[in-house]
C-alpha cells in the first residue's frame, strides 16, 4: 500500500507568556547577536544566499517561495557547522576558565590560549552533516575529533568526515545507538561530546548548538528585508531531533511574538518522533524505534531533543510527516527549476520541505491543511535547504535515475 503523501496534526496557538518563557531561556535575542558576531570572525564565513523561486510560487498559487540555501556553508555543505562551531567555541572558553567572555576566535587558533587547549578531543554522533561540521570546526583550531556513525551511513559521508581530520567509528545500530555509544566511550576516554540533543545533566552544549543555528535565520531576515518583506508569513522546517526546527521557529517567535510566521515541522514518516510526541495523548516525548530507514539520513532520528521539544511544543503550529518520495520530488524540482528560477542543489534532508509544500498546494489531499495554514496568493514561504549533495551516490539515484518517483495516484495538479 502506498504511503500517504501528507499526515499532519494542527496545534492550538499558545498564550504569549508561554511562548516567551519557552523561547527566552533557550534563544535570548542578545545571544543570537553574539552568535552572529562569532561566526563572522571565522575566515571561511560567508552569508549563504536566499533564493527566490518566483515562477514556482506562481504555479503553486503562492506569493513567494524563499529558500535559504546552506549547500555551500563554510565548505561543509550544511548548516550543521554553525551549531558545531559555536558549541566548540563555548566549550573551549569554559575549558580555559573564560566562559562568558568575548574572546576573538583567532586567539583560540594560535598562541598561548591555543596551547592550553591541546588536550581537548571532541566527539559526536552523526548521520553525516553534524559530524562533518564538528570535525571541520575542531580542525580549524588544530584539535582532534572522533565521530561515531551508524551502519547505514553512506561511504561518501564517512569520507567527508575523515577528510576533516576526524577518526570515524561505525556503530552496528541506528543513529540513537551511535549517540549512546559515543557517550559511553567519551566518559571512558575523557573526550568532550558535542551533541545536538540533550539529556539530564547535559544541556549547555545542545543549547549552544541550537543558538549557533540562529546565524542563518538572522541572515535570512536581513535578506528578506532587502526584498521589502517584514517577515515570512510561513516557515516550513525539517526535523530530526528538532534542534533546527526549534531554533527557526523560536527565532521568529522571539522577533514577532503573536505575529510570528505560521510554522510547519516536517519529518520522514519512518522517523517521526516529534509528530509522535505531538499526537501522544499524554503530551509526553515519544521515541520511535527500529532502523529508521529513510533516504533523509540527516533526519533519521528516533528520540527528540527535550530542549527542542520544550520550545516546539509551545511555538510550532503543525507537525507533519511524509514518505521518502516527497523528499525526492523536492530534490528534482530544486535541481531542475522552472525557467527563470535559480537552481538549488539539495540533498534528501534539505529538499523535503519543498516537496511537502508542493504536495499541500498541488494535491487534493493537501486542501484541508492548505486552508488551515492560510496558504495562498499573499503567502511568503521560507524554506531552508539544509544540505547540498553530501551523498553523491544517493543523490544521483534520485536526480539522475529517478528513484523514489511520485506514485501515479499522487501526480501533481499545478496551475497553468
| CB-facing half-sphere around the CA of 108: CA atoms within 13 A | 29
Dihedral sign of CA atoms 107, 108, 109, 114 in order: positive
What is the pLDDT at residue 64?
Answer: 98
State the pLDDT at residue 176: 87
Q: Which of 51, 68, 127, 317 is catalytic?
A: 127
Q: Which of 80, 269, 270, 341 is an active site residue?
A: 80
Identify the pLDDT of residue 399: 96
CA separation for the pair 158, 286 (Å, rounded): 29
Model-level pTM? 0.95
pLDDT of residue 15: 85
Our answer to whether residue 270 is catalytic in this structure is no
Q: How far apart are CA 291 and CA 309, in angstroms?
A: 22
Q: Which strands, in side-by-side order, build the sheet including 144-150? A: 167-171, 144-150, 121-126, 192-193
Rounded Cα gap, residues 325 and 53, in angstroms: 21
Q: What is the mean pLDDT of each run of 10 residues along the chain (416 residues)?
A: 92 87 90 95 96 98 98 92 96 94 91 91 91 94 94 90 95 90 96 93 96 98 97 98 97 94 98 97 92 92 95 97 98 98 97 98 96 98 97 94 96 88
Predicted local confidence at residue 187, as pLDDT: 95
Question: In the prediction, which pLDDT does 25 show?
Answer: 87
Longest Cα–Cα distance of the chain, Å, equals 65
Residue 80 bears catalytic tag: yes
Alpha-carbon span 405 to 328, nearest angstrom: 7
Place of cell 514518516: 269
Q: What is the DSSP letter of 73?
A: G
β-sheet bridge partners, residue 69: 385
Structural domains of the chain, ranges and CATH numbers in brackets:
7-78+210-410 (3.40.50.1100), 80-204 (3.40.50.1100)
pLDDT at 302: 93
Cβ pair 381, 357 in contact under 8 A: yes
- The CA distance from 367 to 364, in Å, is 5
pLDDT of residue 111: 86
Question: For residue 172, what pLDDT is reported?
Answer: 92
Amino acid at each position: 500500500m502506498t504511503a500517504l503523501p501528507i499526515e499532519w496534526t494542527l496545534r492550538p496557538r499558545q498564550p504569549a507568556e508561554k511562548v516567551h518563557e519557552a523561547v527566552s531561556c533557550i534563544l535570548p535575542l542578545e545571544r543570537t547577536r553574539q552568535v552572529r558576531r562569532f561566526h563572522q570572525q571565522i575566515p571561511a564565513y560567508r552569508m549563504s544566499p536566499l533564493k527566490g523561486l518566483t515562477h514556482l510560487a506562481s504555479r503553486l498559487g503562492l506569493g513567494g517561495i524563499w529558500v535559504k540555501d546552506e549547500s555551500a556553508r563554510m565548505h561543509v555543505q550544511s548548516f550543521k557547522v554553525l551549531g558545531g562551531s559555536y558549541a566548540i567555541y563555548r566549550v573551549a572558553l569554559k575549558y580555559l576558565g573564560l566562559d562568558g567572555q568575548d574572546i576573538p576566535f583567532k586567539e583560540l587558533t594560535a598562541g598561548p590560549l591555543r596551547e592550553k587547549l591541546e588536550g581537548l578531543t571532541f566527539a559526536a554522533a552523526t548521520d553525516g552533516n553534524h559530524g562533518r561540521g564538528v570535525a571541520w570546526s575542531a580542525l580549524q583550531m588544530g584539535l582532534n575529533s572522533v565521530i561515531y556513525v551508524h551502519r547505514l551511513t553512506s561511504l561518501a559521508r564517512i569520507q567527508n568526515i575523515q577528510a576533516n581530520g576526524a577518526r570515524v567509528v561505525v556503530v552496528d545500530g541506528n543513529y540513537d545507538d551511535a549517540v549512546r555509544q559515543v557517550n559511553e566511550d567519551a566518559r571512558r576516554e575523557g573526550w568532550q561530546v558535542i551533541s545536538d540533543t540533550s539529556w539530564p545533566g547535559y544541556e549547555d552544549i545542545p543549547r549552544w548548538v541550537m543558538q549557533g543555528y540562529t546565524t542563518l535565520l538572522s541572515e535570512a531576515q536581513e535578506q528578506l528585508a532587502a526584498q521589502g518583506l517584514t517577515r515570512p508569513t510561513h516557515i516550513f522546517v525539517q526535523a530530526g531531533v528538532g534542534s533546527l526546527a526549534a531554533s527557526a521557529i523560536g527565532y521568529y517567535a522571539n522577533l514577532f511574538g503573536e505575529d510570528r510566521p505560521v510554522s510547519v515541522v516536517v519529518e520522514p514518516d519512518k522517523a517521526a518522533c516529534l509528530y509522535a510526541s505531538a499526537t501522544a495523548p499524554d503530551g509526553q516525548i515519544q521515541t520511535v524505534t527500529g532502523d529508521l530507514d529513510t533516504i533523509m539520513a540527516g533526519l533519521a532520528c528516533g528520540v527528540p531533543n527535550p530542549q527542542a521539544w520544550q520550545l516546539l511544543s509551545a511555538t510550532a503550529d503543525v507537525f507533519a510527516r511524509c514518505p521518502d518520495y516527497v523528499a525526492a520530488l523536492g530534490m528534482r524540482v530544486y535541481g531542475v527549476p522552472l525557467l527563470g528560477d535559480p537552481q538549488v542543489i539539495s540533498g534528501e534532508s534539505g529538499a523535503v520541505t519543498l516537496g511537502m509544500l508542493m504536495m499541500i498546494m498541488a494535491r487534493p489531499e493537501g486542501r484541508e491543511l492548505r486552508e488551515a495554514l492560510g496558504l495562498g496568493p499573499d503567502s511568503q514561504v521560507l524554506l531552508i535547504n539544509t544540505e547540498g549533495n553530501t551523498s553523491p551516490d544517493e543523490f544521483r539515484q534520485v536526480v539522475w535515475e529517478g528513484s523514489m518517483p511520485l506514485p501515479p495516484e499522487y501526480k501533481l495538479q499545478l496551475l497553468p
